[in-house]
Amino acid sequence: MTPTDDVHAQALKLARTYLGRDDLSGGWFDLGGSSLDAARLVSSLDHDHGWTIALQDLLTAPSVADLLTAPGAPVTADAPSPVAAPAAGGADALWPALARLPADERLALAHRLLGYVLRESGGQP
């Protein structure tokens, strides 16, 4: 699916909401965005508009506006999850359920897990 002008407009509107600014000519972090809000934007675009953008592409694009409006943007619909499957091991049984979670929920779980690891290791990863 090629995103319509309306989907592009919705993507820009959502990005402006998450970033709290109108000018989207810089990179996500340069504009004051957080990784959690980026995951929320990517999840919303996928869930509400069927437009899948890799989180990494959003976080590393030199211009959020250009990424979200360019006709040749690295965007696909009905693509498999951009999250790679884990190596073989005990997590294999959980992976199908985790892969179906929206990106923002996967990110929240990763943040909680990292917090647990840091607490248990005395602040050493």
Confidence at residue 105, expressed as pLDDT on a 0 to 100 scale: 80
Helices 103-120 and 35-49: crossing angle, nearest 10°?
150
Around Cβ 51, how many Cβ atoms within 10 Å? 25
Q: How far apart are CA 119 and CA 78, in angstroms?
A: 38
Of 124 and 69, the one with more pLDDT: 69
Torsion of CA 82, 118, 28, 37, to 10 degrees: 70
Cα dist. 114→10, 57, 92, 121 in Å?
33, 23, 19, 10
Mean pLDDT of 74-88: 44
Confidence at residue 84, expressed as pLDDT on a 0 to 100 scale: 47
> Please, what's the b/e burial string for 28-49 (b: 16 or more CB within 10 A of its CB; e: otherwise)?
beebebebebbbbbbbbbbeeb
Cα dist. 109→50, 61, 105 in Å?
23, 25, 6
Confidence at residue 62, expressed as pLDDT on a 0 to 100 scale: 92
Of 98 and 118, the one with more pLDDT: 118
Is the whole model's pTM more than 0.75, yes or no?
no
Confidence at residue 63, expressed as pLDDT on a 0 to 100 scale: 92
Mean pLDDT of 54-79: 74
Q: How far apart are CA 51 and CA 1, in angstroms?
A: 8
